[in-house]
Structure 1
Amino acid sequence: MNITKRFSHNKLLIAWILILPVLLIRGFTIIYPIIVTFINSLFEINMFKGGIATFVGLDNFLAILKDDKIITSLEFTVIFTVVSMIFHIVLGILLAQLLNVKFKGKKFLRTIVLIPWAMPMVVTGLAARWAFNDTYGLVNDLIRKFFPNFQFDWLIYPESTRLAVILVDLWKDVPFFAILLLAGLQFIPEEIYESAKMDGAGVFRTFFTITLPLIMQNLLTLCIFFTMWRIVSYDIVYAMTTGGPGDSTSLLAYRIAVEAFTNLNIGYASAIAVCLFLIMIIISSLSLLAIKKNDY
């Protein structure tokens, strides 16, 4: 018995030794940037004078409250995240249900539906900038098939630009969201649906009493990750609108990049990043609590 325990202990020790370098590297690349960001947020760092740092305490955080650009970025980040996630859920479920139907060519359809997601976001953003152009854009060209005199430049006005950014985000990521939901749908036994059909349950009742409860945990988990991705989105705005017109489509992550690499205001950018980090922790904690309550 002692020999068996000692052998198991040695195997466990060897396993930890083998994965320790990876854990140390991964831990360093995660923890070190977080610590440095928190430290930099308390300083005013002048990159034009060799990176001289002056301790300012919480001044950078107080400046955030007075910065209209940050307020605008926070507003659009909330709108972008909430609206995008609502439609991700609705359209993702509908598409997943469609892809779950048995028909010829469903494997081919599941493959091609992922093409938008497989495209790099920068490429998608640049293509969308052309697509929403008033004169030669694909979007207006399609609309003119039905309304020949239609004239509208989508990326000139703040409201329409925000709508365009959200639509492009949905076009790109909803298929991937749906495919992940489809994996959850395929674990639901067919016998349950057959029993519900025999009991006279309709399509909507079957969905809300069987399908939705059984994929709820999977759905909530996906919502956590996709919400985090929406909050830290940067490339779609960078490629499609560069935050314009004005600052109407400047997401918080994009504002951090502008302050850090364009304005070279490292301390202020770090303070914004700290606030974004805390927001993500709060949202993640609430989401995990929701998953725990639905764990059955």
Structure 2
Amino acid sequence: MKKNKSMLLIAWLLVLPALVIRGFTIIYPIFATFKISFYKVSLLRGINEFVGLQNYLDVFKDPKVLTAIQFTFIFVVVSMLLHIIFGVILALILNMDFKGRRFLRTIVLIPWAMPMVVIGMAAKWGFNNDYGLVNDFIRRFFANFELSWLIHTNTARFAVIAMDVWKDLPFFAILVLAGLQFIPNELYEAARVDGATKVQAFLKITLPLIMKNILILSIPFTMWRLASFDIVYAMTSGGPGSDTELIAYRITTEVFTNLNLGYGATLAVLLFIAMLIFSSLNLYVANKK
């Protein structure tokens, strides 16, 4: 018994330095951010004064922040819906038995392996009206097609969401495919004997059995969407105007461009709370399911 306690003590002593460093690099910044959010800190004007909840009240009066919140909500919801719908479809295709299946499963991950900044910069050129790949393809069917995608609000938002889905969809599909591998073929054979169609087998067997996988996968993918920054930074820089700004990009602008540390910390706290709510909700739904 004493030997086990001694071994346990030694184990804790060995991991203690890592725990202290990890705790300092995580817990301290969180508390510091919460503290700064109650101050008005501006490096450009040399201001550092306690303002209480004023920063939080100013958020709801700032049109740029409200626009960023609106687009972040649209970005997360639409992107996740498309990930789930097309991710399941792609997973079903990759799960089929055909020649070259392994090769297709390998190359389909190429977009996910590419850095988002590289994809954003390439997309910025690809959506160009004069020499972009997208318009060149469309003009093969509609010769007089003209559209500057990234200078109009709706099309710029569509382009940002489309590139986000294009990059991470293969990874989502591969993870759903892993869940499909655990469904016994006997279930499908029994359904076939009972006269079920492929659509009925999907709705009654496949979808219920992979639903928990999808819900659990939605948690980190939702978090990544909420904290997404690089796609907007590389592709649109928040334009036109501030219509494609995500909240994470707005925080970066306030802190590193405007040097408004207190206001940026307030936005970071609100984003932290939103991510906490989303993750708690997703975990609750996954556990219930």
TM over 0.5: yes
- TM-score grouping bracket, smaller chain normalisation: over 0.9
Work out the percentage of aligned pairs sharing the same amino acid.
60
Q: Within the alignment, does 1:23 sit opposite 2:30 as a pair?
A: no
1:246 paired residue number: 241
CA shift, 1:110, in A, is: 0.7
Partners of 1:17 and 1:217 in 2: CA distance: 38
Q: Which residue of 2 aligns with 1:84?
A: 79
Partner of 2:55: 60
User: Compared with structure 1, are the counterparts of its residues 15 and 202 closer, same or farther at alpha carbon in structure 2 (3 Å cutoff)?
Assistant: farther
CA distance in 2, matches of 1:191, 1:19: 47
d(CA) in 1 for partners of 2:247 and 2:279? 17
**Mapping for residues 263-282 of structure 1, pairs under 5 Å:** 263-282=258-277
Aligned residues: 289
Q: Gapped runs of 5+ residues in structure 2?
A: none
Q: CA deviation at 1:189?
A: 1.5
Using the TM superposition, give the Cα deviation of residue 260 of structure 1 relative to its aligned residue in structure 2, in angstroms: 0.3
- Given the alignment of the two structures, is residue 107 of structure 1 paired with residue 102 of structure 2, yes or no? yes
1:208-219 matches, within 5 Å, as 208-219=203-214
Aligned to 2:42: 46
Deviates more, 1:194-203 or 1:125-134: 194-203
| Equivalent in 145, 153, 161 of residue 140 of structure 2 | 145
From 224, 236, 240, give the equivalent of 2:219.
Answer: 224
Matched, 1:180 2:172: no
1:119 is matched with which residue? 114
TM-score for the superposition, normalised by structure 1: 0.95
CA–CA separation in structure 1 for the residues paired with 2:192 and 2:88: 21
What is the CA distance between 1:217 and its match in structure 2?
1.5
CA displacement, residues 66-101 of structure 1 (integer Å, 9 cap, x when unaligned): 001111001100000000000000000000011111
Aligned equivalent of 2:201, options 201, 206, 216:
206
Normalising by structure 2, report the TM-score: 0.97
Worse overlay, 77-86 or 96-105 = 96-105
Quote the offset at 1:14 in angstroms: 3.0
SS at match of 1:133: coil
Instruction: Map Cα deviations across residues 244-282 of structure 1 (whole Å, 9 max, x no partner).
Output: 001110000000000000000000000011111111111
Q: Which amino acid aligns with 2:6?
A: N
